[in-house]
Chain A
Amino acid sequence: MKQLFAVIGMNVRSIPQRAGMSIATITSVAFMVAVLLGFLAMANGFEKTINGSGSDDVAVFLRGGSQAEVNSVLAREDARLIEVAPGIATDESGDPIMSAELYVIVDGTKRSSQTEANLPLRGVQQQAVNLRQNFALTGGRMFEPGTAELVVGEGVIREFEGFDLGQTIRLGSNTWTIVGTFSTGGSVFDSEVWADLGVVQNLYQRGSSVQSLRARLTSPDAIEDVRAYVEGEDRLNLDVTSEREYFADSAGGIATLLKFVGWPLSIVMAIGAFAGAWNTMYSSVDSRTREIATLRTIGFSGFTAFMGTLIESLVLALLGGALAILVIYILFNGNSASTLGGGFTQIVFSFEVTLGSVISGLVLALSVGFLGGIIPGIRAARVPLLAVHQN
């Protein structure tokens, strides 16, 4: 045991003597782990935004078969029929907590690329704020119903130009004033711009039609009552889903795609890093052939030589992995980005370096270190005693 620690100590302390090769191994492992963590941070951040968006006790009503809000059209009568459905919660004054909503996709200028990208301008009714968890105004005030005033989500302000508090902005042929900013705690709604439903219908020629209705349920289970009511009502052709389900259905694709790209890429890079580590450890064994032979002659076992080499390789890989985690965490964690989401509008999300992805990164790094060290290790164990005479 003592032998083992002595040899490992010698190996590790001699790393600086082979600085070039060792740094090459550390860097190659670091880049591989960084690529993995980068992709996972995007995937996890996007997933967190989507998963944080839906509640179980909010029902979303869409036209039957429309699949997404953007494709749906509902008539004014639909809202009246749903108001009286069983299972819908009411406020203190006895009014149902529901909001008929309509969004028009408008152009915003992305800060990063200076190109135009799709933003949802959502027309909402007063109860809309009570239908989003964690809704809070972070600046200014709410829009006055009946005026061309906007409140803007924090995500939009981060990623898009021209939406700062107090500014006016032209969306199509209409000019709007930004009177407030809001946050819903990092959910999809932070990527939206809100205005009064009536004004949006009026300015964008939508008549009295809406796209979706959202209603607070008395309990998550009440959705079954609502569904039964809608199916039993011949005048309604609607799909009812809980808001959580709605977002879960519309989200999967992008996060899965990112993971499916990130993993194979980093595994391919791992093969390169593995070749590098193997090469480095071979050089390490080569340069210490005499030293190893000497140790063997004075009674150290082949196993200690093997372990010394293997541990050296693992240490290099671990250093590379740790370096990548540190750099990615400092540079990327919390960075904002946006992509085209299920509603055909931009979804702003933050990179999220999770503990799970850090562990994945370390496991990948150690695997490379282990595989890269094992064959050179065997070679170290087999150094003939006579190699002590080698020059």
Chain B
Amino acid sequence: MNEATLIRKGLFRKVLRAILMMVSISIAFFIFGVLGAVNKAFNAGVDVAAANRLVIVNAINFTVSMPYAYFGRVQGVDGITHVTHANWFGGYYQQPANFVQTFAVEPETYLDVYPELILPPEQREAWINTRTCLIVGQALATQYGWSLGDRIPLNSNIWQQADGSSDWDFDICGIFTAEDSSVPTNYAMFHYEYFNESLAFARDTIGWMILTTEDVSLNDQVADEIDAMFANSPAETETTTEAAFSQAFVEQLGNINLILTSVIGAAFATILMIVGTTLVLAINERTKEIAVLKTLGFQSGRIFRMILTESFLLSLIGGAIGLGLATALVMAAAEGFQAFLPGFRMPLSVVWQAFALMIAFALVTGFFPAFNAMRIRIVEAFGKL
């Protein structure tokens, strides 16, 4: 009988008890995995933000537009590599429930500012040269079953054309993907010119601008210069980094991070209590057995190590099962979630954190029982009935 057998026998001394503890542990890691993935997806906008990318919005609020002329003036600012602009279209397909996130953009510069978006060269060509072109993100195309060459109408719940209609016809001439699956592709874009010239009202305004600076160190200088340029005008601007802008947007939904952390905390506090007390109890029951091992010449250190190994096995097996289930659920749900939670997947960082937690958990729950076992004195143990 080698040490591994002893450890296995110890752990499964009461099979049902070991299984119940593993179930508890797997539940906590399941919750950790799923909510960790959700949290990551919510913050994707912050994570994928380029450090040298700035967003310019109207200082009143980002939903308030600016004069088109601002675009030309920003182009002249020193330290900028590319600048582009966009308008919110408020689109839907066929009926209002089919929301389609759509922007009217300046076609060429938009792709310059977002190099992580990938469009095959011939589609890129078509996008720049076709006035009625709509380029659709892969996730959105999958959602509605659209493919290259389709001609589709999109309605706007905000804008109206001069003739009173509110639907625009588009030719899908490109489907874009992204370098990294955490970059969202759940939206569509079309030419600002096609949009602007057909508008019944609010012509020659733009929603927001995005620019890249030559270097991160120039961010503050560029932002200050732009905001100073439009100070004391009816449309003052506010220039922030893309990350800060995305962060503020997530905060608008509420403190999602706090809510998710509280739930994860509750789940872990629960298993800590359950597994911690059960292990102490389990070792107490085995006082005599351990005294026998000691009598046979097992060193205290070896006993300590064996008991701690049990708690490690418990934590790792339970944790791995929970994390595995979480990954399976996230993978199964990812497609359905693409539309409103793009980039929903099991991030590697969450997996590593989970393993670190499993180790920490094993140490916390295993230390006291192992310590108690190590200190068992043979004489006292046998004296105990």
Interface on A for B, CB 8 Å cutoff? 20-21, 23-25, 27-28, 31-32, 34-35, 38, 65-68, 70-71, 73, 104-107, 110, 112-113, 115-118, 171-173, 204-205, 237, 265, 268-269, 271-273, 275-276, 278-279, 282-283, 337-340, 344, 346, 391
Please judge, given known A-B contacts A268-B31, A269-B27, whether A172 and B59 are in contact too, CB under 8 Å: yes
Roughly how many angstroms separate A173 CA and B90 CA in the complex, as a whole number?
27
In the assembled complex, the CB of B152 is this many whole angstroms from the nearest CB of chain A, namely 18
Stretch touching chain A among B79-87, B113-121, B261-269, B298-306: B261-269
Contact A275 B21 (CB under 8 A): yes
Interface of B with A (CB < 8 Å)?
A: 14, 16-17, 20-21, 23-24, 27-28, 30-31, 58-61, 63-64, 90, 96, 155, 157-158, 164, 166, 201, 232-236, 247-248, 251-255, 262-263, 266-267, 269-271, 273-274, 276-278, 280-281, 385
A204 CB to nearest chain B CB (Å):
7
Which A residues lie within 8 Å of B232 (CB)?
173
Least CB distance, A368 to chain B, in whole angstroms: 12
25 contacts between A and B (CB under 8 A): A24-B276, A24-B278, A28-B274, A31-B266, A31-B270, A34-B266, A66-B157, A70-B63, A71-B90, A105-B60, A117-B252, A118-B61, A118-B63, A172-B60, A173-B59, A269-B31, A269-B270, A271-B27, A272-B24, A272-B27, A275-B20, A275-B274, A276-B20, A279-B20, A283-B278
Chain B nearest Cβ from A391, distance in angstroms: 6
Flag if B17 contacts A276 (CB, 8 Å): no
Measured between beta carbons, the chain B residues less than 8 angstroms from A279 are 17, 20-21, 24, 274, 278
Residues of chain B within 8 A of A113, CB atoms compared: 251, 255
- The reply to whether B251 and A110 form a contact with Cβ atoms under 8 Å apart is yes
Residues of B within 8 A of A71 (CB): 90, 157-158
For A337, give the chain B residue with the smallest CB separation.
Answer: B254
Give the complex CA separation of A391 and B384 in angstroms: 11
* Smallest Cβ-Cβ distance to A20: which chain B residue: B277
Report the 3 A-B pairs with minimum CB-CB distance, sorted nearest first.
Answer: A172-B60, A272-B27, A20-B277
**Residues of chain A with a CB closer than 8 A to B263's CB:** 35, 265
Cα distance A80–B27 when bound, in Å? 63
Q: Say whether A276 contacts B255, CB under 8 Å.
A: no
Q: Is A65 touching B166 in the complex (CB atoms < 8 A)?
A: yes
Closest CB-CB distance, B276 to chain A, in whole Å? Answer: 7
Q: Which residue of A lies closest to B270 (CB)?
A: A28
* CB–CB A112/B255 < 8 A: yes
User: Which B residues are in CB contact (< 8 Å) with A118?
Assistant: 61, 63, 252
With CB as the reference atom, state the residue of chain A lying closest to B57: A107
Question: Once bound together, how far apart are the Cα atoms of A346 and B166, in whole Å?
Answer: 28
Chain B residues with Cβ below 8 Å from A20 are: 277, 280-281
Q: How far is the CB of A308 from chain B (nearest CB, A)?
A: 20
CB distance from B103 to the nearest CB of A (A): 16
Residues in A neighbouring B155, C-beta threshold 8 A: 65
Shortest CB distance B315–A (Å): 14
Decide: A338 and B16 in contact? CB cutoff 8 A: no
Contacts of A391 in B (CB 8 A): 385
How far is it, in angstroms, between the C-alpha of A284 and the C-alpha of B230 when the chains are bound? 74
Q: In the docked arrangement, what's the CA distance between A338 and B255, Å?
A: 9
Q: In the docked arrangement, what's the CA distance between A273 and B276, Å?
A: 14
Give Cα A25 to B276, complex, Å: 12
Cα–Cα, bound, A112→B60 (Å): 21
